[in-house]
Amino acid sequence: MKLKSYVQGQWQEGEGSGQILKNAVTGEVVAEVNSKGVDFKGAIEYARNVGGKNLRQYTTHDRAYMLRDLAKYLLSKKDLFYQLSYATGATKVDSWIDIEGGIGTLFTYSGKARREMPNEKFYIDGKLEHLSKEGTFQGHHICVPKEGVAVHINAFNFPCWGMLEKIAPSLVAGMPCIVKPASLTSYLTELMVRETIASGILPEGSLQLISGSAGDMLDHLDMQDVVTFTGSHATGVKLKSHPNIINNSIPFNMEADSLNFSMLGLDAKPGTAEFDLFVKEVSREMTVKSGQKCTAIRRTLVPEQYADDVIKALSDRLAKNTMGDPQQEGVRMGPLAGTDQVNDVSAALKNLLADASIAYGDLDNFDLIGGSKTEGAFFPAMLLYCDDPFNKTAPHNVEAFGPISTVMPYKTVEEAIELAKLGRGSLVGSVFTADNEFAKSIAYGTAAYHGRLMFLNEKSAKESTGHGSPMPQLVHGGPGRAGGGEELGGIRSILHYMQRTAIQGHPDTLTAITGEYQKGATRTEDVIHPFKKYFEELQIGDSLTTHRRTVTETDIVNFAGISGDNFYAHTDITSLGEGSIFTGRVAHGYFVMSAAAGLFVDPKKGPVLANYGLDELRFIQPVYVNDTIYVKLTAKSKQDKQPREDEIPSGIVKWDVEVLNQNDEQVAQATILTLVAKK
C-alpha cells in the first residue's frame, strides 16, 4: 500500500518508490511512503487562502463545536485505528493512550474554549489599562488569529495523539494546519486524517497531510505562520535554525525528548505506600509504549540507603513484564516502532554503560510471546545503576529512547535537587513523598528546570493521571534540552496561534472594537428597563441608573440576624475606635450588594430567566448608617449559549454594577451574570 498526502483538497500519491514501512512485530511490509511531487508551496498557499479564510469566518465557539463533533466521529471509528495501531508495536493500553487520549484532547479544548473564551472571532486578553487622568485615553489587548498556517511536525511514537494535541488549539485559534508525521508510523496518522476528511466536519483547507519528507516546505513560510516540532533535540535545533525561520521570526515551538527524572523521597522507605507507588510508576513508565515516550522516566533518583531495595523491587516487577505480539493474550509490552530504533537504543545503551552497570535485563537473552526476534523490533527492559552520578555523567547526557532507566543514589535534599537539575531541562519530574516540606524544597529547587512536576503520595495516587501523561489543561514542554517550548496548557496554547495586539483609544472606541463595555464609555439609557429586553434586543452599553435607598441601623441589625454575620463592626459599636478602621456602625458588604440588587432588578416576569453568577466583587469603602446608595447598571458583554434539549434558548449577559453613595463615590463594584431568554 502506498500512503498518500492530502494537499490542496486532493489525495496525492508520491512519485516513484519510497521508504518501506514494516510491521514492528513481524517485519512484514505495511506500507510505502514518499512525498515526491508534492507542491509544498501550493499546499501552504492553499492553507492560507482557503483554509485560513474559511476558519476565520467562524467564531471561537463555532470552531470549538467542530472539535467536539470531530471527536465524537473519530471515537465512532476507533476500532479501525486500534487494529492498525498493533503494527506500530503498541499494546491495547499503548493504543488507548495514543488514540483515545488524543481524541480526549479534542473534547478538552472544545470545552475549555466554550467556557473560557468569548463567542467572538477574537479574544480579549486581560483587563482595561487606565492610561490617562480623566479616562479618555485607555489601553487594552486583543488576540486575533494569525493569517498563516500551523505546520506540525510530529514524532513516530504517538501517530494519533501527536497530531490531535497540536491541531486542537490551532483550529480553535482559527489557524489551518499542515501535519507532517514521522514516516515510520505515518500509516496510522494517514488513516486518521482520511477519516477526518471523510467526516466533512472541518472547513475546506483547514487540514492537510504530508506523508513522507517535508521537502522544501520551510522555505515557503512567512511571519504569519507557526511551526511546532516534536522529536529529537538535534533535529529540532536543525529545523529551528533554518534561515527562513530566523529571518521571518517565525514562532517555532519545540518539544524535544528529555532526561526526565522520578525521585523517591527521603521519607519513603521500603514498606511505605509511597515506596510501592514509586516502584510501580517507574516500571510502568519503562514499559508503556516500550519506553518510547518523550515523558518516560530516564533517571530514577533514590536515597542512597534505599538503592538496593529499589533495584530489587524494580527487578522483581520487571521480571513479570511479558513481551511479544501485542495481540497475544498476556503481552504487556510490544516491540519498538522499528529496527532503526533498536539500533539507536542499542547505541545509547552502550554509551550509558560507560558510566553505569546493568542491574536488570539481558539484551541477548529474553523471551517473547509471539512476534519475531529476527524480523521484529523487540528490545527488553533494562535497569541500570550509576553509583557516582555527580562524576559519572552519561545518564545525564545520553537518552535511550526505549525501555531503559538508570537508578542513581542521593544523600540529602540538596543532592537530590542537584541531580534533578543535571538533566539540563526536562519535560517532567515526579516526586514520591508523604513529606510536604520535602516536596516544597524539591519544587522550589527544580521548577526552573522542568515543564511539569508531579508530586504523588498515598492520598492522590488513586486519581493520579501518572508521571508520563501530559494533560491538555496543563503545560507540556520544558526548558533547555527539552526544547524550550510549550505545547498544551489550556487557553495558553490556543494563544500561541494568535497575535496579541495592544489597542489604545477612547473607551467608546475600545468598546466598539472589543464588543465589551469599557469603563468610561458612553452609557445608553431609555424608558425600557434593561431586564425587559430579550437577548437579541440588548445592546452593549444599555444602562440603568436606579432610584436611591438610605441604609438604616435596622437594616444592619436585621441582616446580621438573617445572615448570622455578627462581625463587631456591624453589631458592637463599643469595639470601634482604636485598632479599627471603621468610625461607626457599618453595613455588611453583602447587604450592600443585596440592597443594590433590590434597586436594579425588575421584579416582573420577563426575559431574564435567572441569576447566573457573580464575579469580581469588591467592597471599596464603608457604607454607614444613614448613607444613601444607588446603582449604575450597564450591559457589559453578551455570550451566546447553545441550549440543551428542552431548554429555553438563551444567552449569558454580563452586567457592570457600580454601587455609589450620596456623594457619588463608589462603594462597591461587581460583575453579575444573568441568563436572558432569546425571542
Taking the C-alpha atoms of residue 202 and residue 176, their distance in angstroms, rounded to an integer, is 10
Task: Single out the residue of 37, 99, 58, 77 nearest to residue 206, CA to CA.
Answer: 58
Q: Which amino acid is at 570?
A: H
CA 166 vs. chain centroid, Å, equals: 10
Tell me the torsion sign for CA atoms 336, 341, 345, 346. positive
Q: For residue 365, what are the contacts with CB-CB under 8 A and spacing of at least 6?
A: none
Q: Are 69 and 201 in contact (CB under 8 A)?
A: yes
- CA-based radius of gyration for the chain: 30
Instruction: Say if CB 112 and CB 473 are below 8 A apart.
Output: yes
Q: What CA–CA distance (Å, rounded) separates 410 from 600?
A: 65
Other C-beta atoms lying within 10 Å of the C-beta of residue 75:
15
Beta strands in 461-593 (DSSP E): 475-478, 485-488, 498-505, 543-545, 549-550
C-alpha 316/C-alpha 45 separation (Å) is 56
Q: Report how far apart, in Å, the C-alpha atoms of 146 and of each of 48, 165, 176, 224, 494 are.
A: 10, 19, 10, 6, 11
In sequence order, the 6+-apart residues with CB closer than 8 A to the CB of 184 are 21, 156, 337, 338, 340, 341
What is residue 508's DSSP assignment?
H
DSSP structural state of residue 48: I
For residue 371, count other CB atoms closer than 10 A to its CB: 24
Farthest CA pair distance, the chain: 94
DSSP letter assigned to residue 524: B
DSSP strand pairing (207-209 vs 226-231)? unpaired
Annotated catalytic residue within 165, 255, 281, 658:
255
Rounded Cα distance between 607 and 509, Å, is 29
How far is Cα 158 from Cα 85, in angstroms, rounded to an integer? Answer: 10
Strand-pair category, 628-641 with 485-488:
unpaired
The three cell numbers of residue 544 are 440603568
Active site residue 160: no
Helix then strand then coil, in percent of the chain rounded to 5, is 35, 25, 40
The answer to whether 83 and 187 are in contact (CB under 8 A) is no
Sheet arrangement for strand 297-303: 357-360, 382-385, 404-410, 297-303, 260-264, 426-432, 450-456
Q: Are 404 and 427 in contact (CB under 8 A)?
A: no
Amino acid at 85: S
| Residues near 541 by beta carbon (within 8 Å), at least 6 away in sequence | 511, 517, 521, 522, 523, 524, 634, 635
Cell 489551518 belongs to 176
Contact 250, 431 (CB under 8 A): no
Catalytic residue from among 285, 294, 386, 658: 294
Residue indicated by cell numbers 441550549: 643
255 has catalytic annotation: yes
Query: Which residues are CB-neighbours of 460 under 8 A, at least 6 positions away?
Result: none
Do residues 599 and 631 lie in contact, with contact meaning Cβ atoms separated by under 8 Å? yes
Residues 6+ apart with CB under 8 A from 371: 25, 26, 324, 325, 328, 334, 335, 378
Catalytic residues: 255, 294
